[in-house]
Structure 1
Amino acid sequence: MEAVKKREVVKAQKRGLSISDVILVGVLLAVGAVLKFFVGSLFNAGMKPNFIIAMYCLAILLIKPRFIEAIFIGIIAGAICQVFPGTPYINLISEPVGAIVMAILVYLPLQIGKFSLRPVIGTFLSTLVSGMTFIGVLYAAFYTGADVKPMPFQVFIVIVLGTALVNTIIVQVLYIPLKLALGRGKND
């Protein structure tokens, strides 16, 4: 009699974003663009809240991309920001930096019991880092002679902190329902 061999199930390593991941990123970034256009038009302080950040944070939370994929998501988000009035090209730097922060935080064990703090901490810090990067690049451009007119730092910081708070709430509210609707599992 032959011995029965144990069967092993080997899970294939993820090698990039699936088509559904790409579509999800595209839809979420489009939602962020619509929010930025309509809600952002209510602000007239020179710098407007950027809801595209909330949407790429949500996308990164849901799909857990590799580091390089998160950078590309940030670049695409920055490119979408170029459609809107404002200081050109700076979002092409600030959004990838924010996406990198989110990608790093997605893999850290940020939990209290069964409650994941990743949406809250990740979105708040990513928005804050993206906003501070934006401000830093803007001021650097100004002090090197570029034709930009930055507002006082205090005004910028209030807008960045306010945007970080609003983005955090948006992502926290949407994360669990979207995660469950997309079948992304109950565990983080």
Structure 2
Amino acid sequence: MESTVGKREVARKEKKGLQISDILLIGILLAAGAVLKFFVGTIINIGMKPNFIIAMYCLIILLVKPGIIEAAIIGILAGAICQFFPGQPYINFVSELAGAVAMCLLIRIPLEKIKLPLKTVACTFLSTLVSGFSFIGVMYFLYYARPNMLIAAPTPLAIFLAIIFGTAAINAVIVQVLYIPLKLVLKKE
């Protein structure tokens, strides 16, 4: 008598889109980034401070691992939140979109030889640079790209570069410090 019992296979559903818990995490971390940007910005006013909104969307993308379109939406949401803070209006929509998409693409690069903490730091640093250079590029294009304005732009580019690189370094540290504990608490892969 032959056994008719076969192997049972469990079909796994592929994750399509963001889950409710991912959307809640996005909202909570972007709100936390906005609150931190507001309060730290008023306490620390030395010209060099972290951009907590960029740090939070980098952290979100590391934890949630969204698709490119979802990362773009996260970037646009971050840009919308930036509209509530002083600065150049509307430019953050472009810069945060570019930074979020860059982060999404960077975390997909297979870097087996690089340990995870270094990859986290490198991806956040580079994404912040993309966001910062996008911001400066759009701003210079909109305000200073006239032939008579190229000679005397009001703020030297070197000052912006120092701010962008300093912010990128601070954001990379913030994301690295928060990533591993949040990953463990949220039980993310």
TM over 0.5: yes
* Aligned: 1:107 with 2:108: yes
Q: Distance in 2 between matches of 1:113 and 1:9?
A: 34
Counterpart in 2 of 1:25?
A: 26
Cα pair 1:57 1:171 within 8 Å, conserved: yes
Residue 97 (structure 2) pairs with residue 96 (structure 1)? yes
Per the alignment, residue 60 of structure 2 pairs with 59
Name the structure 1 match of 2:155: 151
Preserved contact between residue 139 and residue 150 of structure 1 (Cα < 8 Å): no
Rg comparison, structure with higher value: 2
**Cα contact 1:78–1:95 (8 A) shared by 2:** yes
> After TM superposition, where is structure 1 displaced by more than 3 Å over at least 4 residues in a row?
111-116
1:160 is aligned, of 161, 164, 167, to 164
Identity of aligned residues (%): 59
What is the identity, as a one-letter code, of the residue corresponding to 2:76? I
Q: Which moved more, 1:8-17 or 1:55-64?
A: 8-17
Task: Give yes or no for the alignment of 1:182 onto 2:186.
Answer: yes
Contact 1:138/1:150 (8 A) holds in 2: no
Which structure is higher in RCO with an 8 Å CA cutoff and minimum separation 6?
Answer: 2
Runs of 5+ in structure 1 lacking a partner?
none
CA RMSD of superposed structures (Å): 2.0
Report which stretch shifted further, 163-172 or 106-115. 106-115
For structure 2, which runs of at least 5 residues remain unmatched after alignment? 147-152
Q: CA deviation at 1:48?
A: 6.3
- Per the normalisation by structure 1, the TM-score is 0.88
Alpha carbons 2:49, 2:170 under 8 Å: kept: no
C-alpha displacement at 1:113, in angstroms?
6.5
